[in-house]
Structure formats: C-alpha cells, structure tokens
Amino acid sequence: MSSSPVSPLPNSVAPVSSTKPGKLVVFTGPSGVGKGTLLQQLLERHPEIHLSISATTRQPRPGEAEGQHYYFVGQDTFKQMVAAGQLLEWAEFAGNYYGTPSEPVYQQIEAGRWVVLEIELEGARQIQQTYPEALRIFILPPSLAELEKRLRARSQDSEAAIARRLQRARIEVAAADEFDIQIVNDSLDQALQQLEQALFDG
Ligand code: 5GP
C-alpha cells in the first residue's frame, strides 16, 4: 500500500467557510445503478464537495488507482483498522470488506466542507445510528432488469460476482424507503438535477 487510509489532507483542501459547519451526505444504491457516474458529474460541477475514499479488501479493477478510487488493503490491515476504531462504518459486500476511514471525514467536516460517502446499505444504516444528522440519499435503478443489463454491460465482474451483486441489489432496493431521499437514475441529467435540488435547495 503506497499511502495510508488515514493520510493527512491534501494541500489543496481549503475551508468553504470557517463559520458554517460541514455536512455529511450518504449516497447508497445497488451496484451498477450508476452512482459513480452521477457522483463524478456532481463533483465536476461542485469541486468544493469532498468524496471520501474508502478502504477495501477487493482487488483493484483495471484503471482503478490506489488512494484515488480506494485504499486497497489486505484482510489483516482491514481488521486492524476496525479494531483500532479507525472506520466510521464498515461492511462486507459480495465477499469483500469496505469501510470509511473516519479521520479525513471529521477533518473535512470541521473545515466546513461537505463530505460524500458512497457506501452500501449496511454502512448507511450504521451512519444513521452514529451520525443521524447526515443526509441519506438512495439511488434506484429504473428496474431490476435494467440493473442486470448495466452490470453485464460493465463486464468487469465474473458471473458469480454479478449474481452476488444482483442478489444484494434486491435487498438494497427493498430498503430504499429508509432513506431521506430516493432518486431514480433513468436519465443521468434528470437524476443529477434532482440530486442538486436535494443537496442545495433542501
Ligand atoms: P465496488 O466493489 O463496486 O466498488 O463497491 C461495491 C459496493 O461497496 C458499492 O455498493 C459501494 O457503494 C460499496 N462501498 C464502497 N465503499 C464503501 C465503504 O467504505 N463502506 C461501505 N459500507 N460500503 C462501501
């Protein structure tokens, strides 16, 4: 691992406001729903928002970079992070562990910035307990059939992994009502518009 999951803030981080508190936004939705693309667009339009980088035991996919998409760690390191209380939340997903390093999140929020977590359902439920003031947004696919199509089109995962992700997707979609806001990602532009409304007009 080339950098630590609890590494200090990059130099470019500047407080949005020294008086207003930051905000924690949780972004959840089944694998393949297009959360990543939606978030990428949001961050391009609002570069002041900080996206939390998770630690995971999953192998990097082609094109994924250490410290940019994830901190890729071994199981032992992940377990040590859990034991040391370094994760704000964590969960097992489709055979791998994923978790949010807490330190950078608190630092950013203290600096008055908005922080987005892109995490699965179990982690979002933990945040509801530990950080109830977080705004929790659920991204829905137009249908489960469409979701399966998108997962296959991505063709980054094995058949077995796709099957596990689809099974998990059914469970996640059934829990969408637990969230403050639900957005259907049918057209990317419309979903982005609804997301901006939820964040900035709320
Ligand atoms: P992927 O392997 O496709 O990158 O991510 C699988 C799932 O893990 C996605 O639903 C993603 O939102 C979720 N995930 C990514 N990072 C975290 C994390 O730090 N905590 C939790 N609970 N879920 C995460």
Apex CA 72: angle with CA 48 and CA 90, to 5°? 75
Count of CB atoms situated within 10 Å of the CB of 30: 26
| Chain centre to alpha carbon of residue 13 | 20
Each residue of 152-185: pLDDT tens digit? 887 677 888 888 889 999 999 999 999 999 999 9
**pLDDT, tens only, 45-88:** 999 999 999 999 999 999 999 999 999 999 999 999 999 999 99
pTM of the predicted structure, to 2 decimals = 0.86
Give the architecture-level CATH label for domain 24-49+115-202: 3-Layer(aba) Sandwich (3.40)
Query: Ligand 1 atom closest to Cα of 55?
Result: 19
Looking at per-residue pLDDT, the higher value among 83 and 3 belongs to 83
Which atom of ligand 1 lies at the shortest distance from residue 100's CA? 19
Residue spans of alpha helices (H) in 95-143: 102-110, 121-130
Tens digits of per-residue pLDDT, 82-102? 999 999 999 999 889 999 999
Fold of 53-113: Guanylate Kinase phosphate binding domain (3.30.63)
- pLDDT of residue 14 exceeding 90: no
Helix and strand numbers, DSSP H then E, in the chain: 7, 9
Please give the structure tokens belonging to residue 139.
Answer: 């991204």
Please tell me the distance between residue 201's alpha carbon and the centre of ligand 1 in angstroms.
Answer: 27
So what's the pLDDT on residue 161?
85
The C-alpha atoms of residue 9 and residue 183 are separated, in whole angstroms, by: 31
Instruction: Please tell me what DSSP assigns to residue 112.
Output: T
Residue with the smallest CA separation from ligand 1 atom 19 is 99
| CATH 3.30.63.10 domain residues, the chain | 53-113
* Tokens 């704000």 belong to residue: 88
